[in-house]
């Protein structure tokens, strides 16, 4: 599981600054950030060994460009409607914190992988697309990373799911969340997330 997270984070780092301009296509946004973030890491390699700097990098480059509310709703699945508005807000906050902490921890293993960008299949009126990439590792192994992205009312694109080698982040958490809620309820899931985040 740790290896999976390392690969996921490496890929997410390469797509952190997704919000660029309403005129820029989602794949162009993903590609643009590869240069940005890679440049930051190359200019200051000490970031990889400093958890505080890693968190700051993620907060600045990743967090504003992902729709954590939708990610949490999708991860909750049918159980989202069972949560009160207050519980939904708390779940979203805790899920966001969990992802940021996980990414900052795993990011310390980031290496200068090469990212191949697949042609984007998109019509001008599309508001929900998948940006497909393949992360080529130093050992020659390629890992497909697909980003599900949606266009907001303001014209910006945000990611709401990531699939690594065909495994969806949202679906991965949905199984865990559903299991807890089915046996113990929504409050129990909130407490579990809060405990992980301490």
Condensed to tens digits (0 to 9), the pLDDT of residues 46-80 reads 888 888 888 888 888 878 788 999 999 999 999 99
CATH number (domain holding residue 64): 3.10.450.710
**Cα separations (Å) of 151 from 24, 66, 169?**
11, 11, 20
Residue 19 pLDDT: 45
Q: Is 162 helix (H, G, I), strand (E, B) or coil?
A: strand
pLDDT of residue 120 exceeding 90: yes
Residues 130-140 have a mean pLDDT of: 85
Do residues 3 and 109 lie in contact, with contact meaning Cβ atoms separated by under 8 Å? Answer: no
Q: Is the dihedral of CA 127, 131, 66, 145 positive or negative?
A: positive
pLDDT band, residue 190 (cuts 50/70/90): very high
Do residues 189 and 91 lie in contact, with contact meaning Cβ atoms separated by under 8 Å? Answer: yes
Which structural domain, as residue segments, surrounds residue 79? 2-197
> Could you write out the DSSP letters of every residue in 96-127?
HHHHHHHHHHHGGG----EEEEPPP---TT-S
Do residues 109 and 117 lie in contact, with contact meaning Cβ atoms separated by under 8 Å? Answer: no
* Token pair 């989602």 in the structure block, residue: 26
Domains held by the chain: number: 1
Do residues 118 and 132 lie in contact, with contact meaning Cβ atoms separated by under 8 Å? Answer: yes
Residues 22-28 have a mean pLDDT of: 78
**Residue 30 belongs to what H/E stretch?**
helix 26-43
Residue 41 pLDDT: 76
182 or 2: which leads in pLDDT? 182
Q: Which two tokens stand for residue 6?
A: 């390392």
Closest-CA residue to 102 (of 169, 190, 39, 38): 169
Residue 98: CB atoms within 10 A of its CB come to 16
pLDDT of residue 88 exceeding 90: yes
Residue 71 pLDDT: 94
Residues 80-97 have a mean pLDDT of: 96
- Compute the distance between CA of residue 143 and CA of residue 15 in angstroms, rounded to an integer: 15
């Amino acid at each position: 599981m740790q290896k999976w997270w390392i690969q996921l984070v490496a890929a997410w780092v390469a797509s952190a600054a997704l919000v660029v301009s309403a005129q820029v296509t989602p794949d162009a946004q993903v590609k643009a950030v590869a240069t940005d973030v890679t440049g930051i890491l190359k200019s200051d390699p000490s970031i990889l060994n400093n958890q505080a700097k890693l968190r700051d990098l993620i907060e600045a480059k990743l967090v504003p460009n992902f729709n954590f509310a939708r990610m949490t709703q999708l991860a909750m699945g049918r159980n989202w409607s069972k949560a009160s508005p207050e519980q939904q807000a708390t779940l979203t906050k805790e899920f966001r914190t969990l992802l940021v902490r996980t990414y900052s921890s795993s990011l310390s293993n980031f290496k200068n992988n090469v990212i191949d960008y697949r042609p984007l299949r998109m019509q001008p009126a599309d508001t929900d697309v998948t940006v497909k990439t393949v992360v080529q590792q130093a050992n020659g192994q390629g890992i497909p990373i697909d980003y599900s992205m949606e266009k907001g009312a303001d014209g910006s694109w945000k990611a709401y799911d990531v699939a690594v080698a065909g495994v969806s982040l949202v679906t991965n958490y949905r199984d865990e969340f559903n299991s807890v809620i089915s046996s113990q309820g929504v409050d129990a899931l909130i407490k579990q997330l809060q405990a992980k985040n301490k």
